[in-house]
């Protein structure tokens, strides 16, 4: 069960209407752990209600996004935690991907953020 990504575990538990394919996520590659997935309760906490969506640009990394939005890199882990449904590794983000980020305080510039 540890080898199943958070993303896959969340999709397994998700309501079919919330998924792009509008059906239960049940790939054959997970059939060996189906019972464990059905009873799993170890998912990370959900995302806060208020956040911004940003689009990852070529060359972006979570620490660079954090630096750009908050003036330091310490929020990179928070950004990663907010996107565990999409990310298995904080070093694997790609241009064009959308990510949730905390809403920066009013006094900080957030040029790369979109609402």
Share of the chain above pLDDT 70, in %: 80
Residue partners of 30: CB distance under 8 A and separation at least 6: 4, 8, 12, 37
pLDDT (tens digit per residue) in 73-91: 999 999 998 888 788 889 9
SS3 99: strand
Average pLDDT, the chain: 82
pTM of the model: 0.57
Positive or negative torsion for Cα 74, 78, 84, 87? negative
């Amino acid at each position: 069960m540890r080898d199943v990504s958070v993303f896959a575990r969340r999709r397994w538990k998700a309501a079919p209407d919330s998924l792009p394919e509008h059906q239960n996520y049940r790939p054959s590659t997970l059939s060996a752990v189906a019972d464990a997935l059905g009873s799993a309760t170890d998912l990370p906490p959900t995302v806060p209600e208020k956040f911004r969506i940003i689009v990852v640009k070529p060359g972006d990394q979570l620490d660079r996004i954090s630096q750009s939005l908050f003036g330091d890199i310490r929020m990179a882990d928070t950004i990663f935690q907010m996107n565990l449904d999409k990310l298995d590794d904080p070093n694997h983000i790609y241009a064009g991907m959308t990510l949730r980020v905390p809403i920066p305080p009013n006094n900080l510039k957030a040029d790369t953020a979109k609402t």
